[in-house]
Chains A and B, each alone.
Chain A
Amino acid sequence: MPVPEHMEFFIDPNRCIGCQSCVQACGECDTHKGHPMIHLEYVDRAISVQTTPVVCMHCNTPTCAEVCPADAIKVTEDGVVQTARKPRCIACSNCVLACPFGVPKMKTEFELMMKCDMCYDRTSVGKKPMCATVCPSQALFFGTREEIEQIRPRSVSNNRFQFGQQVITTKVNMLFPKDNPIQHLNVTDAMNEQPVDQSFTLEMLMDAIGI
């Protein structure tokens, strides 16, 4: 049974809390137990707690499959780009290098490229993908377009991306704020300029102890 067409995957990085529930739960999936296929990255932890989850975007014309010399990467009739077929994959890593989103992983211990297949074992039987089910902040969401429009009125979805000359449309959607892009937040901006409680400042203290 294919993934129903009206059920779509949405990623809202603005909501990601970096908890790694998706990563931990992905590794529990029946088809690839112990091997999470999701990447979760801090954008720049030195200045922000912003993180972003990356699942396979399931491109309409998947670069990974196009560059595969062994024709190991298949697309299902409902547009899900699958993990490389074990008998065909030659572990050349062409797909890893070519994917514009950086999704496929080469599992050298199996000599096999593995990647998110949208929990095909779950989605093809009417369940939601594991990651989107557990995500505590619903940065990963699986449902209908009507649902997402209703519960995310401040966001707009996009599935068309440009990388240099290459334009890619994807089965997975990204959500972006409609307006008022979030300003970067800085602790010191909102601090009282004269932190003078107890009548001395940190600077003075540092001087006093000779730092």
Chain B
Amino acid sequence: MAKLPVTLEQLTESFGPHLARSTGNRLETGIEPDSVVKTHCCFCGQQCGIQLKVKDNQVIGFEPWEDFPFNRGMLCPKGVKRYLQGAHPDRLVTALKRDPSHPSGFSPMPYAEAIDRVATEIKRIQAVHGRDAFALLSGASLTTEKAYLMGKFARVALKTANIDYNGRLCMVSAGAGNKKAFGIDRAANPWSDMLKTDVVWISGANVAECAPITTNYVWQAREHGAKIIVVDPRITPVARTCDLFLPIKPGRDIALFNGILHLMIENDWLDHDFIQNSTVGFEAVAEHVKQWTPKFTAKVTGIAEKSIRQAAEWWGTAKTSFLMHARGIEHHSHGVQNVLGAINIVLASGRIGRENCGYATITGQGNGQGGREHGQKCDQLPGGRDISNPEHRAYIAKVWDVSPDDLPQAGVDAYEIFRKIDKGEIRGLLSLCFNPKVSLPDNAFVTKALEKLEFYVAIDFFLNETAHHADIVLPGSLHEEDEGIVTQIEGRVIKINKVIDPPGEARQDWRIIQDIARQMGAEKGFTFASPQEMLDELRIASKGGVADYSGITYEKVERQHGVFWPCPSDDHPGTPRLFEPGSWNPIAKGTGPFYFPDGKARFVVAGYTPPTEDVDTEYPIILTTGRVISHFLSGSQTRRIGPLVDQYPEPRVEMHPRLAEKLGIANGDLTTVESRRGNCTLKAHVVTTIRPDTVFIPYHWAGRQSANQLTISAQDPISKIPEYKVCAVKVFKARD
């Protein structure tokens, strides 16, 4: 049984979150570091370059890395304080086993014994209940080498179909939409293409708080005359100085994009040559958007008609432009449709694949891009290959020296894994770099499912809230304790360098995975001695695929300050900008720049449907969720870093004064937000910077402070992303 071994209070007392602050060497002034290592931040998809100062195998501080071209020394507060995650009192330094008789709920055990127990349980569960009864949950903060290994471990060592990753909560709507329209899933342009553009369109992206360095690119564009259009239900810091703010009602993004396309067609703000020569499907989309008159669009989106007309005119008449979006339009049960709507207005403008003309989705996690390309996704094999495609299966089977028939077919997505656990179809779980008890929606259900597991092993460096349920915990590695590549927000592959050794019994996650494979008697293919060896195999595995890394080496990455994939050969410099006229790709083979056999991009009809759970008389207010700048994702790391917690100590529920007044709530009042799935009581933050029909709660906290007690597990039918950005709630002053 995977119920909590002791009370949550006892677990918290032993395993935190406790707050790390600068003490000892880290507070000493004038200390001479043993080394200063160039690497990258462990948090978001921007992967800012940073130098870490090391003394006695401890990171004691940082120094800006001004030569790295993306951020040139700039860092957000998470990057500045990231070093405090090392030598942390909560750090796991031994293997642990669940032990209800121990005051902490867990007792230390020898590492080898723990590996043996894990291998035995995997084999037992698979023998009794079938191979797919053991599932793996992985993460997009892992290096690409580790992500690759996890996919291979699932398919070759465990032969289970059921592996998925936390990119399911992040990039999948954008990825699916991009593949449908372009045949490839990657930001189409380097950020430098933003700097000299006429219009920057930002939909559903709190750029200043979630991708802070990007703010400088946006505002630098503005200095040189770009108009900035921001679409968001909240006035975020980047919206504050925009030229046009469209306060959209959550869940109505397709309607806006369709309305914009309607006006582009009506006013003939179209690139006819591009549409004719480089795309297919425009007629059907044009027909579909006829109904999206400005008046109808205003009615559905909640945006004033004059603002919609202004946005269409600026977008329609621009000579150059850059459109970006993030989870704000993607975290929906129609997230893929939203993305396709955005792409349609880009394609109609013809402004893509050229200097200063771009389109990008803003990747959230550290390796959000690379982590979704090489096989830890339930339906995918390395190189962005499709697990259901016989040719792709055959190629990878050959690289892995197994029979294609032995490769499992597609498994289910991360949320469906929990539904299968609940139904008893999945009995065992291994997790690495994923904290679903905090990060998945309707987390009361997730907790219930965790309690049903026969066996759960968690690999982590801190005991996160999900790992509280584990039978065995294996002590993994911090970002700075391993090396490998990740692919950042622009599609640039960069190198994480090892800065220190893991403490105690802790070790690199890839070693742990290989130890389990060996103990299971599945050692073949899991004898890598270094990340370099894994990369060498990954280069072959990705060769000829859409996500082709075959020409990427550590040496080239370091020399060039990153290599943009695709990079299909040793002498290839990489591809900063996709879709340039005349460019070659392995699908189109020269017929055109897009990744389809005819080389043409696809217009896809994006039909509007309301959110799965719309407001009604019982639950009349929209809840939307998101991030704050000083925390990251489930907070497993940032809730342990004192200065970041000081900056934003607890979640608050943000609401407009007009709503607050009707509800009789004053700023700071304890306020209960209740959905059909649960309730959450937090202090009210009354501000005019949010739509009056919407409340906002940041999602980084656990337990009774968790926003995901409220959110709905509705998912996009294609991408399977959950609908974090809109559900229906009632809000009232907390009862005493």
A and B from one complex: yes
Q: What is the interface of chain A, defined by CB distance below 8 A to chain B?
A: 14-21, 23-25, 27-28, 30-34, 45-51, 128, 130, 133-138, 151-154, 182, 185-198, 202, 205-206, 208-209, 211
Contact among B64, B219, B630 for A134, CB-based, below 8 A = B64
Which of B61, B300, B620 has the largest count of A CB atoms less than 10 A from its CB?
B620
Chain B interfacial residues counted at CB < 8 A: 81
Tell me if B208 and A17 are in contact (CB < 8 A). Answer: yes
Residues of B within 8 A of A19 (CB): 76-77, 208-209, 212, 237, 629
Within the complex, the shortest CB–CB distance from A25 to chain B, in Å, comes to 5
Residues of A within 8 A of B715 (CB): none
Residues of A within 8 A of B730 (CB): 209
Binary interface encoding of chain B residues 568-612 relative to chain A, with 1 for a CB under 8 A from any of its CBs, else 0: 000000000000000000000000000000000000000000100
Given the known inter-chain contacts A15-B219, A21-B212, A202-B620, please indicate yes or no for A28 contacting B61, CB distance below 8 A. Answer: yes
A58 vs B494: C-alpha distance when bound (angstroms): 40
Contact among A33, A128, A190, A211 for B245, CB-based, below 8 A = A190
Within the complex, the shortest CB–CB distance from A193 to chain B, in Å, comes to 7
Tell me if B235 and A24 are in contact (CB < 8 A). Answer: no
Residues of A within 8 A of B657 (CB): 46
Q: Does B30 contact A (CB under 8 A)?
A: yes
Tell me if B689 and A49 are in contact (CB < 8 A). Answer: yes
Closest A residue to B659 by CB, please name it. Answer: A202
Within the complex, the shortest CB–CB distance from B71 to chain A, in Å, comes to 8
Residues of A within 8 A of B223 (CB): 151-154
Tell me if A196 and B62 are in contact (CB < 8 A). Answer: no
Near A by CB (< 8 A), chain B positions 215-233 give 215-216, 219-220, 222-224
Tell me if A47 and B215 are in contact (CB < 8 A). Answer: no
Binary interface encoding of chain B residues 27-67 relative to chain A, with 1 for a CB under 8 A from any of its CBs, else 0: 11110000000000000000000000000000001101010
Closest B residue to A31 by CB, please name it. Answer: B29
A16 vs B247: C-alpha distance when bound (angstroms): 21
Residues of B within 8 A of A18 (CB): 208, 237, 629
Within the complex, the shortest CB–CB distance from B417 to chain A, in Å, comes to 34
Tell me if B620 and A34 are in contact (CB < 8 A). Answer: no
Given the known inter-chain contacts A33-B28, A134-B73, please indicate yes or no for A20 contacting B647, CB distance below 8 A. Answer: yes
Closest B residue to A18 by CB, please name it. Answer: B237
The 5 closest A-B pairs by CB, nearest first: A136-B212, A17-B208, A205-B620, A17-B237, A24-B77
Given the known inter-chain contacts A19-B76, A21-B75, A152-B223, please indicate yes or no for A187 contacting B208, CB distance below 8 A. Answer: no
Within the complex, the shortest CB–CB distance from B221 to chain A, in Å, comes to 12
Near A by CB (< 8 A), chain B positions 301-338 give 301-305, 307
Residues of A within 8 A of B299 (CB): 192, 194, 196-197
Near A by CB (< 8 A), chain B positions 372-403 give none
Within the complex, the shortest CB–CB distance from B228 to chain A, in Å, comes to 12
Tell me if B80 and A191 are in contact (CB < 8 A). Answer: no
Tell me if A187 and B656 are in contact (CB < 8 A). Answer: yes
A–B complex contacts, Cβ < 8 Å, 10 sampled = A21-B80, A24-B80, A48-B689, A137-B208, A137-B212, A153-B223, A192-B303, A195-B249, A195-B302, A196-B299
Within the complex, the shortest CB–CB distance from A202 to chain B, in Å, comes to 5
Residues of B within 8 A of A182 (CB): 240-241
Tell me if B245 and A185 are in contact (CB < 8 A). Answer: yes
Tell me if B66 and A133 are in contact (CB < 8 A). Answer: yes
Residues of A within 8 A of B246 (CB): 190
Closest B residue to A198 by CB, please name it. Answer: B614
Tell me if A195 and B208 are in contact (CB < 8 A). Answer: no
A192 vs B73: C-alpha distance when bound (angstroms): 42
Residues of B within 8 A of A130 (CB): 64
Tell me if B614 and A192 are in contact (CB < 8 A). Answer: no
Residues of B within 8 A of A205 (CB): 615, 617, 620
Tell me if B240 and A34 are in contact (CB < 8 A). Answer: no
Residues of A within 8 A of B242 (CB): 185
Within the complex, the shortest CB–CB distance from B409 to chain A, in Å, comes to 41
Tell me if A133 and B64 are in contact (CB < 8 A). Answer: yes
Within the complex, the shortest CB–CB distance from B617 to chain A, in Å, comes to 5
Q: A17-B629, A134-B79 are in contact. List 7 more A-B contacts (CB 8 A).
A: A14-B241, A17-B215, A23-B77, A47-B687, A128-B73, A185-B242, A187-B245
Residues of A within 8 A of B302 (CB): 191-192, 195, 197
Closest B residue to A202 by CB, please name it. Answer: B693
Tell me if B29 and A187 are in contact (CB < 8 A). Answer: no
Tell me if A133 and B73 are in contact (CB < 8 A). Answer: yes
Tell me if B689 and A209 are in contact (CB < 8 A). Answer: no
